[in-house]
Structure 1
Amino acid sequence: MDTQSSPSSATNTYRNPIIEQRADPWVYRHTDQQYYFTGSVPSFDYIELRRAATIQNLADAEPVIVWRKPDSGPMSHLIWAPELHYIHQKWYIYFAAAATDEIVDGLFQHRMFVLENDHPDPLQGSWIEKGQIVTPWDTFALDATTFIHQDQQYLLWAQKEPEVDGNSNLYLSLMANPWTLKGTPTRLSIPELSWECIGFKVNEGPAFLRKQDQLFISYSASATDHHYCLGLLTADIHSDILNAGSWRKSDQPVFGTAEAHSQYGPGHNCFTISEDGQHDVMIYHARNYKEISGNPLYDPNRHMRAQVIQWRSDGTPEFGRPVADTV
């Protein structure tokens, strides 16, 4: 996301949670000044879109199911983390899906896929399956997001690289078109710090933010229970972003569990802009309880939330702590 707002000291103006039981939330403000929302549904079997004039009103917006998983094939199980993007006058949805819900060698079997719609309104028209995003490894891959920087389209995602220990690392690549990579991807980050490796060694859910002369990539780390948290990569806007050395990793999590606010495992965020265009807003999910029975991925109560970002004098974001529920 490219933001033009000035550094602010705004307080949070959103009543959280906004949409219940929607993990991996994605909010995009289009040129029509409307907000578009999608996220993982608890049944993991379809993709929905919502539209509203404000972030808060997305809670009451009518969901429109735009795609359902087939009964068999590579996209027939566990539909995760859809994102809506507008590229070259067409709409695209990026998402992860698997051919089975089986876990092999500790990993699900997800790959990344793309849908395309040339209708001006993404809640209408036909969504065409453009197929799988092919990467150098046919391995667990998910959480694809895309952005334009210096007139080049990039894909940013998480994947298991066979020779690297852990569940997933972060990768960046140029794109030949919205569903095809170009050139050799760059590995930007691996889970190596203690807070990235609790339960599982995970770097996933990347989100891009451009602010003045700096670029930022937030990402989620560790298991998806109360240990889930956000890290941050930072680069100079004039650097070679395909050079992993251009990116600096935060030593500590930049956003994590706040017991005092009863907010646990915040993560898988994205960035958007406030309704008045003055403030940067982080969208994320979190639970309001700590103890989970069974696999946390199947606990449905990761709710979509919003929070205004503060900015330090050095131009870096201050995410603070997840605010307490207000409803």
Structure 2
Amino acid sequence: MCLIFVCGLSFAQQKTFTNPLLTSGADPYSTYHEGYYYYIHTQQDRLVLWKTKNLADLKTAEKTTIWTPPENTMYSKELWAPEVHMIDGNWYVYFAADDGDNNNHRMYVLENTSGNPMNDRWKFKGKLSTPSDKWAIDGNVFKHQGQLYMTWSGWEGDENGRQDLFIAKMKNPTTMEGKRQKISTPTYDWETRWEGGPDVLVNEGPQYLSNGEEVFIVFSGSGCWTDYYTLGLLQLTGEDLMNPENWQKHNTPIFAWSKENGVYAPGHNSFFKSPDGKEDWILYHANDNSGDGCGGKRSPRMQKISWNKDGTPNLGTPVSTKTILAIPSEEK
């Protein structure tokens, strides 16, 4: 009787958790669909998808490699920051990749029309680019008032020296439409900070966020290899997302490292809602130690966020790995 009882407890869903969710995993992203979260992060040489009812249970969740790129192509290596989306009834994964030369990073997309993203029915649909066809990483796809957009981090020209944020309309989930527009460039000290080296001019990892009225893009500033990797905020002040003048950048970061909590370089985030739709949460990666850099020590974490009276997001402070958190609220 005791053994059965204990076994029963072992299969019960955990109601609390501590970060990190996995020992390693940069650029975490998830999509909630029909009772399950579909989660993905950077693996460099392949795309792996997790399926779970509770993101706190990622360590034991079902997972499968959905796509491995063919060798000797312009998208065979350095697969970064994948995102999984359900758009108009079909599944899509967006990711950046190159041929081993960072100068050739561009955005690409896969499509799965089978209804089941955990199978091998993924088809490579090609490169996503505007007519300028410049360096691009960290694409985030979202719908606003029925129009599909992508925002990403890119170079204005053909040389590495500064990463700006761009936006473009999409004709459909696999095709860009028209020219890109630059909506942010790194200017504040927290977007350029790297102690012990030259200024690092980086805006990357843009993520759409809305409270139902206000529209924002949360992005990462400074180099991911520094302890000072941090999140900033763009706020839409007009109706046209393609007008750069309608994006106002807040002059201070909204989520930064916490030496007190032992969390360094928190960034490249995404957002999700709880299963009951009542809570907003942030997914992000961070390091446990100063100087851990931009490699395999970055681990995925999550915590609940709130909203300020002025409608802006309040992300709080990155919590310690010792902090016990309640899982996202469930359907009753």
Question: What TM-score, normalized to structure 2?
Answer: 0.87
Among residues 296, 303, 315, which one is paired with 2:299 in the alignment? Answer: 303
User: Does the C-alpha gap of structure 1 residues 84 and 249 become closer, same or farther in structure 2, counting only changes over 3 Å?
Assistant: same
Q: Is the 8 A contact 2:141 2:149 kept in 1?
A: yes
Q: Is the 8 A contact 1:119 1:125 kept in 2?
A: no
Structure 1 residue 128 corresponds to structure 2 residue 123:
yes
Among residues 134, 137, 142, which one is paired with 2:137 in the alignment? Answer: 142
Equivalent residue number for residue 40 of structure 1: 42
User: Residue 241 of structure 1: CA displacement?
Assistant: 1.3
User: Residue 13 of structure 1: CA displacement?
Assistant: 6.0
User: Does the C-alpha gap of structure 1 residues 14 and 218 become closer, same or farther in structure 2, counting only changes over 3 Å?
Assistant: farther
User: Residue 14 of structure 1: CA displacement?
Assistant: 4.5
Structure 1 residue 226 corresponds to structure 2 residue 222:
no
Q: Is the 8 A contact 1:79 1:96 kept in 2?
A: yes
Q: Secondary structure at the match of 1:63?
A: strand
Instruction: Write out aligned runs for 1:1-40 (5 A).
Output: 14-30=17-33, 32-40=34-42
User: Residue 24 of structure 1: CA displacement?
Assistant: 0.3
**Whole-Å Cα distance in 2 between the matches of residues 261 and 275 of structure 1?**
28
User: Residue 55 of structure 1: CA displacement?
Assistant: 1.6
Q: Is the 8 A contact 2:227 2:264 kept in 1?
A: yes
Higher RCO (C-alpha 8 Å, min separation 6) = 1
Q: Deviations along 1:196-231, whole A, 9 cap, x unmatched?
A: 112421111011011131001000111112111000
* Amino acid paired to 2:144: H
Structure 1 ranges of 4+ moved more than 6 A? none
Equivalent residue number for residue 61 of structure 1: 61
Q: Is the 8 A contact 2:169 2:176 kept in 1?
A: yes
Instruction: Write out aligned runs for 1:191-210 (5 A).
Output: 191-199=186-194, 200-210=200-210
Instruction: Write out aligned runs for 1:1-327 (5 A).
Output: 14-30=17-33, 32-41=34-43, 44-100=44-100, 102=101, 108-162=103-157, 166-199=161-194, 200-224=200-224, 225-236=226-237, 239-292=239-292, 296-297=293-294, 299-326=295-322
Q: Secondary structure at the match of 1:57?
A: helix
**Whole-Å Cα distance in 2 between the matches of residues 126 and 116 of structure 1?**
8
Q: Is the 8 A contact 1:227 1:257 kept in 2?
A: yes
**Whole-Å Cα distance in 1 between the matches of residues 54 and 106 of structure 2?**
33
Q: Is the 8 A contact 1:267 1:285 kept in 2?
A: yes
Q: Deviations along 1:269-318, whole A, 9 cap, x unmatched?
A: 001012332110000000010123xxx33x20110100100211111111
Q: Deviations along 1:141-163, whole A, 9 cap, x unmatched?
A: 11111111111111111111118
* Amino acid paired to 1:246: N
Q: Secondary structure at the match of 1:58?
A: helix
**Whole-Å Cα distance in 2 between the matches of residues 217 and 138 of structure 1?**
23
**Whole-Å Cα distance in 2 between the matches of residues 311 and 235 of structure 1?**
16
User: Does the C-alpha gap of structure 1 residues 165 and 126 become closer, same or farther in structure 2, counting only changes over 3 Å?
Assistant: closer
Structure 1: gaps spanning 5 or more residues: 1-11
Structure having the higher Rg: 2
* Amino acid paired to 1:301: K
User: Residue 58 of structure 1: CA displacement?
Assistant: 2.2
How many residue pairs are counted as aligned between the two chains? Answer: 303
User: Residue 189 of structure 1: CA displacement?
Assistant: 0.3
Question: What TM-score, normalized to structure 1?
Answer: 0.88
Mean alpha-carbon deviation: is it higher for 134-143 or for 305-314? 134-143
User: Residue 179 of structure 1: CA displacement?
Assistant: 2.1
Q: Is the 8 A contact 1:69 1:79 kept in 2?
A: no
* Amino acid paired to 2:128: I
Percent identity, aligned pairs only, is: 36
* Amino acid paired to 2:107: M
**Whole-Å Cα distance in 2 between the matches of residues 175 and 249 of structure 1?**
24
User: Residue 326 of structure 1: CA displacement?
Assistant: 2.9
Mean alpha-carbon deviation: is it higher for 129-138 or for 16-25? 129-138
**Whole-Å Cα distance in 2 between the matches of residues 287 and 230 of structure 1?**
15
Measured on the aligned residues, the alpha-carbon RMSD in Å equals 1.8
Equivalent residue number for residue 4 of structure 2: none
